[in-house]
Amino acid sequence: MLESQLMPYIIRPMKYEDIPQVAQIDREAFPGEWVFRSQAAYKQDLDNPSIRYMVACKEKHVPEPKGQALEKPPWFKRLFSYERRLNIQEYIVGFSGFWMMTGEAHIIAIGVRNDYRQLGVGEGLLILTIELAQISNANIVTLEVRASNKIAQELYKKYRFQVVGRRLRYYSSDGEDAIIMSTDNITSVPFQASFQQLKEDYAQRHREILARVC
């Protein structure tokens, strides 16, 4: 495991300046499908109050170019951490998004960079997505997942998603079927009890991931 993968993560709402990195992850995580979510499409989504996106990110220290020392800014700019912002930027490793319909939060995608999979990032994004769905007064959460993506299906089942249908030849890149999955009522006592326990277990296993619901 790379040392950079062990650094703390923050999960927060997506901003306009995140779009290029999110589009890059989209192309990497969903090859053949990314053309339906261009940078322009993401900007439109962020302008839509019915759609919410979250990103998992970390601070990435960017070294100064060799032999090209940056000119030191005036003291009043240094006072507001201008110099620090020149050399540190956020590196986005994953994202999730959903849109709200009547009483339903439909997950658009949960994508993680290839080098950061199996590290708990996707699960953290799923937890935040469900919490945001609750805040948005959704009753159920639904999604589509590739029929061959057994790892993702097992994660969703862990969070009480059930298979409710199948979309034949749903993915245009290769004609693969999509499995439709849905939760029971996320405001119900059984769901809430299970969800709270799963969140506590996750927090114990992944103290390096800080989730912010805004």
Residue 207 is part of which domain span? 3-211
To the query of whether residue 202 is one of the catalytic residues in this protein, the response is no
To the query of whether residue 3 is one of the catalytic residues in this protein, the response is no
pLDDT score of 79: 40
127 has a pLDDT exceeding 90 = yes
Q: How many domains is the chain built from?
A: 1
- Residue 205 confidence class, pLDDT cut points 50, 70, 90: confident
Question: For residue 8, what is the domain's CATH number?
Answer: 3.40.630.30
pLDDT score of 206: 84
Quote the pTM value: 0.81
Q: What is the mean pLDDT of the chain?
A: 83
- Over residues 181-192, the pLDDT tens digits come to 999 999 999 999
- Over residues 155-183, the pLDDT tens digits come to 999 999 999 999 999 988 788 999 999 99
82 has a pLDDT exceeding 70 = no
Of residues 53, 91, 116, 156, which has the active-site annotation?
A: 156
HSE-CB of 191 using CA atoms within 13 angstroms: 19
Distance between CA 123 and CA 206 in Å, rounded?
Answer: 10
Place of tokens 């956020």: 90
* Helix boundaries (H) for 116-188: 121-135, 150-158
Of residues 91, 116, 123, 144, which has the active-site annotation?
A: 144
Distance between CA 111 and CA 157 in Å, rounded?
Answer: 18
Residue 42 burial (10 A CB sphere; 0-12, 13-18, 19+): buried
Distance between CA 147 and CA 33 in Å, rounded?
Answer: 15
Q: Are 95 and 14 within 8 A, CB to CB?
A: yes
